[in-house]
Chains A and B, each alone.
Chain A
Amino acid sequence: MNENARILIVDDEPMVCLALTNWLKEENYLASSVGDGPGAIAAIGEEKWDIVLLDLKMPGMDGLEVLREIKKIAPQTVVVMMTAYASIPGSVQAMKDGAYDYLVKPLDVQELTLMLHKITRHQQLVQENIMLRKQLHEHHSYENIIGKSQAMQKVFELIRTVADTTATVLVTGETGTGKELVARAIHANSSRRYSPFIGVSCGALPETLLESELFGYEKGAFTGAERTKKGRFELAHNGTLFLDEIGDISLKTQVKLLRVLQERSFRRLGGTEVVEVDVRLIAATNRDLLKAVEEGIFRSDLYYRLNVINVHLPPLRERREDIPLLAESFMGKFNLEFNKKFDRLEKKALDLMIEYQWPGNVRELENIIERAVVIGQGPEIKAAHLPFCRPDTSEPSGGNSTGDGSAGDGLQLLEEVEKSHILRMLELNQWNIARTARLLGIDRTTLHKKISRFCLQKQ
């Protein structure tokens, strides 16, 4: 009858609250009541209400003040004023301030019923509109990758085009832009989708370990090789092998990799048997591989072999129009995960998010929304929930800086700021790599690399 609309009654007369709540419950509405303005504002902040029946004349905070606050906190909530004959001018003012309509007390059952039906019907239409927008949103996403920006639409188009081919793909983009998601999307839309998708994070493994991971080893190949082990290439047979951080592999491994790509076969470490594989290779890097080629640290032949198709993911700061869409999507995801009811972003929070530079890209945004959902009560993510709004994190901490790379005029180099910030975060988290990486909005591999690059050590 009314699709269980949630109605809040705000009236200082307990009898009105009780009688109206009971009547609404009998009419299958989910009704509750509060006796004053501050109570109403608290209730609106805590939960989502579809309709508020608000008494105009209340001691202390009157109905008009409460109405204005409600419209600030939850503009989508429909407010119907309840008034006595004498205060009709007040009701007119309320309509100007955003009230949907007003009812004269004592209420006319038919008028109230019709009005509630009309509002719930209107809200159904609003919901339908939201559903349609969600469907549109699905057009703005592809296999968990979200973006309505032109750059992302081009990425989706490219993924669709190359997915069902055997072409090797090189995914490039800054850390946290979603390179692995692209690789998975390509795999999921290829004819290999029922075969394995095997990922290797090349940057996380030392050279010898990487080789044994990629190609496997025979029993007795080295100390500790107690049995034959299949490598990732073999495990990915008929499927897709995703080599993340490809720019970090040694020249020696590059040669071996090149040979596999050329011959489609290899030998396990310590083995003589040739293993033939049918693998589609997708590589990813956040490095400028062409520059690495120029510097002689990446083989040009491997580069051209990998870069048959290049999918470049733009950093988040270059597609700011996707931020609200991404934030909304992560809100939905973490609402489910943490059983919360966040449904909107405070305007100031959104403005700050759009202004922010997002060095950790989408992953950083995801972590920030997760954090906000965990610490907040909802239904609105506020600017105060965003860590980059806190003054202590917006300024670089110079306490741990070595000073050797400083510009000499009291300003710090970007690298120095990064180093001291990473060290500070590591110490704050007792060198818990996973947690620190999450808070920094980067992956663990990147954090490990940065630790070794900056020679950071646990004190």
Chain B
Amino acid sequence: MITRPRIIYVVPLTNGLVDHLDSIAESIEIQFGAQVKIMKNQGLPTYALDGARKQYNSNMILKQLLQISPPDTLKILGITDLDLFSPIFKYVFGEAQFGGKGAVISSYRLSANPDGDSERGCPPLGDRMEKEAIHELGHTFGLRHCTDPDCVMHYSVGIQCADRKFAFFCSVCRDLMLWHMAKDLFLKA
């Protein structure tokens, strides 16, 4: 029997962040119109730790996420509070397989103002994580960065710039996302 991919899985990769998981999952469900399930906590991704950089390799985490994804996975999103890097970049807020299945985001660099030591004037961490989660999942649906500064797919240089955009798609990105989703749901099975 063919199992159709239909569920977006959210995977905690640490022991923290439990407070935000439900709200992020709810927001994903609203924006993508797909069923969202929170998987059990997978613990720290020690396999991805780069000793020299003292950071976690997001590429390796993505590979691991794909390995643990259930057959009915439409997309799988890892959430961690660790400092992520991709080999060519110093750090990343998150990473996604463009047009693929997996994405990962981190709260590590989302939790503070740019000076890194103050929480004052900073929007709730959950809001930023919600936007980052939708943004990265958007990439897995084949969406590129959007020129509309209000759209969640807009690329913001720096966290503060990201605060001004909304946690949902502009009409163009929404239509594109639905088109890609229809393709994922009904053609790839």
Contact = CB atoms under 8 A, between A and B. Distances in A.
B141 interface: no
A114 B85 CA distance: 19
A27 B144 CA distance: 7
Interface in B155-170: 155, 157-158
Given A1-B155, A27-B145, A106-B85, A22 B98 contact: yes
A110 B145 contact: no
Contacts of A113: 155, 157
A1 B89 contact: no
A297 interface: no
Interface in B63-104: 85-92, 98
A422 to B, nearest CB: 61
17 contacts: A15-B87, A16-B87, A23-B88, A26-B144, A27-B145, A106-B85, A106-B88, A106-B90, A107-B88, A107-B90, A108-B89, A108-B90, A108-B91, A109-B90, A109-B91, A110-B158, A114-B157
B165 to A, nearest CB: 14
Interface in A11-28: 15-16, 19-20, 22-23, 26-28
Interface string B126-146: 000000000000010000110
A105 interface: yes
Return the 4 tightest CB-CB contacts between A and B, nearest first.
A19-B88, A106-B90, A108-B90, A109-B89
A344 to B, nearest CB: 32
What bracket does the count of chain A residues touching chain B fall in? 10 to 19
Nearest to B161: A110
A16 B147 CA distance: 27
A110 B157 contact: yes
Contact of B155 (A15, A27, A106, A107): A27
Contact of A19 (B86, B90, B139, B144): B86
A20 B157 CA distance: 18
A26 B92 CA distance: 15
Interface string A349-373: 0000000000000000000000000
Given A23-B88, A106-B90, A108-B89, 10 more contacts: A1-B155, A16-B88, A19-B86, A22-B98, A26-B144, A26-B145, A107-B88, A109-B90, A112-B89, A113-B157
Contacts of B158: 110
A165 B35 CA distance: 80
Contacts of B98: 22, 26
Contacts of A108: 89-91
Nearest to A2: B145
A311 B14 CA distance: 86
Nearest to B92: A109
Contacts of B144: 26-28
A1 B144 CA distance: 10
Task: Please classify the interface of chain A as helix (H, G, I), strand (E, B), loop, or mixed, using the class held by over half of its residues.
Answer: helix
A15 B86 CA distance: 11
Contacts of A28: 144-145
A110 B162 CA distance: 12
A112 B88 CA distance: 11
A363 B3 CA distance: 71
B6 to A, nearest CB: 26
Contacts of B86: 19
Given A108-B90, A114-B157, A1 B147 contact: yes
B89 A106 contact: yes
Nearest to A11: B88
A107 B139 CA distance: 21
Contacts of B90: 106-109
Contacts of A114: 157
Interface string B24-54: 0000000000000000000000000000000
B145 A105 contact: no
A368 B1 CA distance: 70
A303 B40 CA distance: 102
Interface in B103-151: 139, 144-145, 147
B159 to A, nearest CB: 10
A57 to B, nearest CB: 15
A304 B91 CA distance: 84
A20 B145 contact: no
Contacts of A109: 89-92
Interface in A376-393: none
A42 to B, nearest CB: 24
A27 B85 CA distance: 18
A412 to B, nearest CB: 68
Nearest to B146: A1
Interface string A318-346: 00000000000000000000000000000
A15 to B, nearest CB: 6
Nearest to B95: A23
Nearest to B86: A19
A4 B91 CA distance: 25
A15 B88 CA distance: 8
A322 to B, nearest CB: 42
Contacts of B91: 108-109
A107 B145 contact: no
Nearest to B142: A26
A341 B26 CA distance: 53
Interface in A428-447: none
B141 to A, nearest CB: 13
Interface in A105-124: 105-110, 112-114
Contact of B89 (A26, A27, A107): A107
A20 B155 contact: no
